[in-house]
Amino acid sequence: MSEVVTYNRDGSIGVITVNYPPVNALSHAVRSGLLAALEQGEQDADAKVLLVVCEGRTFIAGADIREFGKPMQEPGLPSVINRIEDASKPVVAAIHGTALGGGLEVALGCHYRVALASAKVGLPEVKLGLLPGAGGTQRLPRLAGAQKALEMITTGDFVAAGEALALGILDAVEDGSDIRAVGLAFAQQIADAGKPVRKVRELTDKIDADKGSDVFERFRAGLQQKARGLFAPFKCLDAVEAAFNLPFFDGLKRERELFMECMASPQRAGLIHAFFAEREASKVKGLAKDTPVRDVRSVGIIGAGTMGGGIAMNFANVGIPVILLEVKQDALDKGLAIIRRNYENSAKKGKLTQAQVEERMALITPSLAYEDFSQVDLVIEAVFENMAIKKEIFARLDEVCKPGAILASNTSTLDIDEIASATTRPQDVVGMHFFSPANVMKLLENVRGSQTSDEVKATVMDVAKKIRKVGVLVGNCYGFVGNRMLHQRGAEAMALVNEGATPQQVDKVLTDLGYPMGQFAMSDLAGIDVGYRIREERRKAGENVPASWMDKLAEQGRLGQKTQAGVYKYEEGSRKPIPDLEVEQLIAAFRQEQGITPREITDQEILERCMYVMINEGAKILEEGIADRSLDIDVVWIFGYGFPAYRGGPMFWADQIGLASILDTVKRFHDTLGGEQWKPAALLEQLVREGRKFGDL
């Protein structure tokens, strides 16, 4: 028998134990091991009831995703589960941790299910662009009914054990932490009561109750809104509906067909790439696994504005005390009031209790004195982008902070080495670039300076995990990875409008690609003055930054959502961008002033210019070692800028399109439009020459 699944007997219970770290995924060895152990248990005359239980941190967390895309090796999961359901003796699943995807499907194939109160169950396949393909769409509705099965399967959200019990997914929930003991006790009860095998596939009550209900149409309409552009949620719905329209085994067949359609979809490839990329990004290239990590038990934050306040919340949310520093009392009061309001809003939505709000507020101590930072383990500076001020602050931190404290800047563009030069400890200085709103956006772009120590790098990546962010370590350059690429896209979008496109046309191409908002809606959200100030600074520094119609907006005080007018106009209290005739006229006047005759611009040109300029820049970023791997860039864009995860990130997307065709287009733009941004990256040329992709690096 395979060593990852073992069989032994405990009294009258035959115990099938899965032990395949880290998450007991259903690899070929586990699937065949389960079959062999089941047969052994059936043949064991002294075993009255069989128990499936897992070692390690969790019950089976699903199919082994690493096997996807390779030839399937028998036995397939659906047949293993059918075989469990057909067992001659009752089979009990004992669940701890998370029973997910194929793992929950195995449990649904068992005849009874018991779980620890801390456990969770779910069918998250949709998040990987798939649907539950081993009977989950047919069995779950037989236990939980159409509404709940549709909710779980189309969102992929987990359900806590208590709720799963109430829904009928579980038969019992027990406190405690010893899953083997809990499972054995429950199985013994089944044996003592002489309970029969109970096949989920034979349960018909919930199917009969919901047959012909309008719930499917309601869900379909809802998905048109919520799952725009996605493939799998609609297939999930079709599969669940089949449970109500077809006999069980025909339903299983339909589920399989739909599963294979999802498996073949590019969205599945993109989402699975994103899944692994997120996890790989935390393993920094060149950083030894055993690099010591400093303990971060207290944090100081400078600046109680939107950014500083949001950053403070991240730490308070996980119980780490924060000292929040401002120069003036009123700024401090205002900042704290905003933090409180954010927490109160979460409480109103039922996400926090009032006691939790108070607990978190109590972890944030306001301060006006740098001396209060003398004992903190980490300081994050979050004042506005001005090098002179930042250097002053870091020099002050160098005086007051204890040795070994990490000094971080939340700068989104400035040179970390220059900031570090204001201190006597550049090895402890690092960038920690949060994304707005900092308490919501998942990305933490950690920036290494040339002297940042390995220990500090490892610590800031560890901090990202602790505060539940996705950390990516990148190199030091203007704008780092994210904003450096965004900057190119922004300049191109602006130029496209100069030449004849409308802002809404550009934005639509980007939202059609799957971004939650377009370039100009995003500028309005961030503030038109932000880009304006950056362009002005660069002009002052002697750079050739062409005049733009967006400068005119800023000069007229159209600063975006905050003034209810920017590239778009906004109704009172609404964030919905409305195209504005005044802006159209302003753009027309600007073109005239510049002697530009507007031309028709196709959506394809917009897509290529906005995206390929980013890809070319991404290639330069890789070439310079600012990002270690193309997956780091993908993660930055998915978690920091809402790039659609189902396209896997911009570099993965480029690989799918084909680098040769991208290079041809980049060269064409270089010839026709000119500009450094269109100069083909040497790495892009090299990869095309060698017939390789970014993902091969």
* Residues near ligand 3HC, by CB under 6 A: 22-23, 25, 58, 61-66, 77, 98, 100-102, 105, 124-125, 128, 130, 132-134, 136, 279
Q: Which two tokens stand for residue 367?
A: 């301060």
Provide the 3-class DSSP secondary structure of residue 171. coil
Give the residues across from 120 on adjacent strands: 98, 160
Q: Which two tokens stand for residue 194?
A: 């002489």
Q: Is 211 or 279 the residue whose CB approaches ligand 3HC more closely? A: 279
Give the residues across from 189 on adjacent strands: none
Q: Is 133 or 449 the residue whose CB approaches ligand 3HC more closely? A: 133
Q: Is 57 or 226 the residue whose CB approaches ligand 3HC more closely? A: 57
Angle at 571 between CA 492 and CA 340, to 5 degrees: 90
Q: Is 279 or 692 the residue whose CB approaches ligand 3HC more closely? A: 279
Give the residues across from 433 on adjacent strands: 445
Phi/psi of residue 195, nearest 5 degrees: -65, 145
Kindly state the smallest distance separating residue 135's Cβ from ligand 3HC, in Å: 8
Kindly state the smallest distance separating residue 28's Cβ from ligand 3HC, in Å: 12
- Residues near 425 by Cβ (< 8 Å), separated by ≥ 6? 398, 403, 407
Question: Which residue, 150, 131, 104, 102, is CA-closest to 258?
Answer: 131
Kindly state the smallest distance separating residue 156's Cβ from ligand 3HC, in Å: 8
Q: Is 18 or 583 the residue whose CB approaches ligand 3HC more closely? A: 18
Q: Is 283 or 297 the residue whose CB approaches ligand 3HC more closely? A: 283
The string of DSSP codes covering 303-369 is: --SHHHHHHHHHHHHTT--EEEE-SSHHHHHHHHHHHHHHHHHHHHTTSS-HHHHHHHHHTEEEES-
Question: Among all chains, which residue has been given the structure tokens 């309001």?
Answer: 341
Cβ pair 22, 57 in contact under 8 A: yes
Q: Is 61 or 232 the residue whose CB approaches ligand 3HC more closely? A: 61
Amino acid letter, residue 105: E
Cβ pair 546, 491 in contact under 8 A: no
Cβ pair 467, 408 in contact under 8 A: no
Q: Is 283 or 679 the residue whose CB approaches ligand 3HC more closely? A: 283
Burial grade of 696 (CB within 10 A; 0-12, 13-18, 19 or more): exposed
Residue 125 designated active-site: yes
Q: Is 7 or 59 the residue whose CB approaches ligand 3HC more closely? A: 59
Kindly state the smallest distance separating residue 355's Cβ from ligand 3HC, in Å: 27
Q: Is 279 or 351 the residue whose CB approaches ligand 3HC more closely? A: 279
Residue 255 designated active-site: no
412: DSSP letter: S
Q: Which of these is catalytic: 125, 326, 445, 617?
A: 125
First-to-last alpha carbon distance for the chain, in angstroms, is: 39
Kindly state the smallest distance separating residue 3's Cβ from ligand 3HC, in Å: 18
Cβ pair 61, 101 in contact under 8 A: yes
H or E segment and range at residue 122:
strand 120-122
The string of DSSP codes covering 21-62 is: TTT--B-HHHHHHHHHHHHHHHH-TT-SEEEEEE-TT-S--S
Distance, CA of 691 to CA of 186 (rounded, Å): 58
Q: Is 63 or 401 the residue whose CB approaches ligand 3HC more closely? A: 63
CA distances from 457 to 449, 559, 569 (A): 10, 37, 43
Cβ count near 411 (within 10 Å): 24
Amino acid letter, residue 115: A
H or E segment and range at residue 258:
helix 248-263
Kindly state the smallest distance separating residue 275's Cβ from ligand 3HC, in Å: 7
Distance, CA of 232 to CA of 131 (rounded, Å): 7
**Considering Cα of 675, then 681, then 684, then 688, what sign does the dihedral take?**
positive
Q: Which of these is catalytic: 3, 39, 105, 217?
A: 105
CA dihedral 384→386→391→392, nearest 10 degrees, is -70
Question: Which residues belong to the active site?
Answer: 105, 125
